[in-house]
DNA sequence: ATTGAAATTGATAATCGTTTTCATTTAGAG
DNA sequence: CTCTAAATGAAAACGATTATCAATTTCAAT
């Protein structure tokens, strides 16, 4: 299924590619290159970082995932399901909780139209502290030093 | 006013700082370090990049601005007015249009509560092409090469 | 006004994630 | 089987951000 799809697009099926794709879909829904790289390496020590990176890019290219930027410096790849969703991002433990955005997207779509924008994507995020990390939040509230 | 505020927080008032703060608030609402650096340098060639960067960080720290990541690699600093707002981001010309998010934030606040999240911030973005760049959009739809 | 501790500055270097290069290998159509 | 385009892995390049450090400056307390 997946394989045929890639072939028709002119991409080749390699063992590395198979492993990377497979691993990506087995993992948490929001992974960084590093995380996927580690995971993939558990299965095959010979796979290079660039290969993982490039295949992640390919996964995006064929529309199966999308880059997301939570605010810390690192890019995560969000598996694209049919339903759009928002993210609750815990500033402490970096965990992500998804939530339904049907209502919000409706509003945003209108806004876009009002502004004569041709929409390509939405990003709806709430940053904060999850229940577990709540007590930690004070520690981090003021830890940004200036150098 | 601003000066007194900074002093009470233990920060010192320097000519560079004054110029940087002043420039930041004179500029477009979403600037990158580089943009602000250029602007500041028009007035004073001797100011260093780090100084601009650090003061931008300070501006965030005292709650007058906030980092935003539109998806291209660069961090912009969004002036924090009392009213929260969303961004329409043109993928072609990188221009930003703000829009009201009262309604959306209401919904999101509820969602956060439902998930026992302690909220620190919202991010509501719509990516697409502005009216002017609309015709360009096809050109860029498929320009992501894989290397 | 003078002093001294703490903060700030500017130049430069280190860092970190991302992306490219390049020589080599491999997939897969013919 | 053969040939070409695509894919791989190692390493280097890249670009933005952040840190280091010596010199300077602010400003509160004399």
Question: Tell me, what CATH number does B69's domain have?
Answer: 1.10.10.10
Owning domain of residue B143: 83-147
Looking at the structure, do residues B71 and B29 belong to the same domain, yes or no? Answer: yes
Residues of B in contact with A112 (CB under 8 A): 88, 126, 128
Looking at the structure, do residues A31 and A99 belong to the same domain, yes or no? Answer: no
Per cent of chain B over pLDDT 70 is 90
Mean pLDDT, range B58-71, rounded to an integer: 88
- Whether the CB of A10 is less than 7 Å away from nucleic strand C comes out as no
**pLDDT tens profile A24-75:** 999 978 899 999 999 999 999 999 999 999 999 999 999 899 888 887 888 9
Whether B74 shows a pLDDT value over 80: the answer reads yes
Looking at the structure, do residues A110 and A74 belong to the same domain, yes or no? Answer: no
**Amino acid B47 CA to nucleotide C9 C1' distance, rounded Å:** 8
Mean pLDDT, range A105-130, rounded to an integer: 91
Task: Tell me which nucleotides of strand D come within 7 A of a protein CB.
Answer: 6-11, 15-21, 25-28
Classified as helix, coil or strand, A128 is strand
**pLDDT tens profile B95-133:** 889 999 999 999 999 999 999 999 988 889 998 889 988
Looking at the structure, do residues B61 and B116 belong to the same domain, yes or no? Answer: no
Whether A145 shows a pLDDT value over 70: the answer reads no
Which pLDDT score is estimated for B135?
65
Q: Which of the two residues, A50 and B85, has the higher pLDDT score?
A: A50
Least confident of A83-87, A116-120, B116-120: A83-87
What are the start-end ranges of the H helices in B62-142?
102-114, 137-141
Residues in CB range of A131: below 8 A, 6 or more apart: B116, B117
Mean pLDDT, range B73-96, rounded to an integer: 85
Answer whether A107 touches B (CB < 8 Å): yes
Where does a domain end: B80, B103, B133? B80
Mean pLDDT, range A85-91, rounded to an integer: 90
What are the start-end ranges of the H helices in chain A?
2-8, 15-26, 33-43, 49-61, 102-114, 137-141
Which pLDDT score is estimated for A65?
92
Domain count, chain A: 2
Looking at the structure, do residues A76 and A114 belong to the same domain, yes or no? Answer: no
Looking at the structure, do residues B12 and B45 belong to the same domain, yes or no? Answer: yes
Taking the CA of residue B16 and the nearest CA in chain A, the distance in Å comes to 16
Mutate to test the interface with A, among B103, B120, B146, B147 (most CBs of A within 10 A): B120
Pairing of strands B30-32, B65-69: unpaired
Residue A5 pLDDT level (bands cut at 50, 70, 90):
confident
Whether B67 shows a pLDDT value over 70: the answer reads yes
């Amino acid at each position: 299924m997946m394989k045929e799809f890639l072939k028709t697009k002119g991409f080749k099926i390699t063992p590395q590619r198979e492993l990377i794709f497979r691993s990506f879909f087995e993992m948490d829904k929001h992974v960084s290159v590093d995380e996927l790289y580690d995971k993939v390496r558990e299965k095959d020590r010979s796979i290079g970082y660039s290969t993982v990176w490039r295949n992640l890019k390919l996964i995006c290219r064929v529309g199966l995932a999308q880059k997301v930027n939570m605010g810390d410096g690192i890019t995560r790849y969000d598996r694209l399901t049919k339903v759009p969703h928002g993210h609750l991002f815990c500033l402490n433990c970096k965990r992500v909780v998804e939530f339904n955005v049907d209502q919000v997207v409706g509003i945003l779509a209108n806004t876009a139209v009002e502004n004569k924008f041709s929409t390509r994507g939405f990003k709806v995020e709430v940053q904060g502290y999850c229940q577990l990390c709540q007590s930690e939040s004070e520690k981090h509230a003021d830890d940004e030093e200036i150098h």
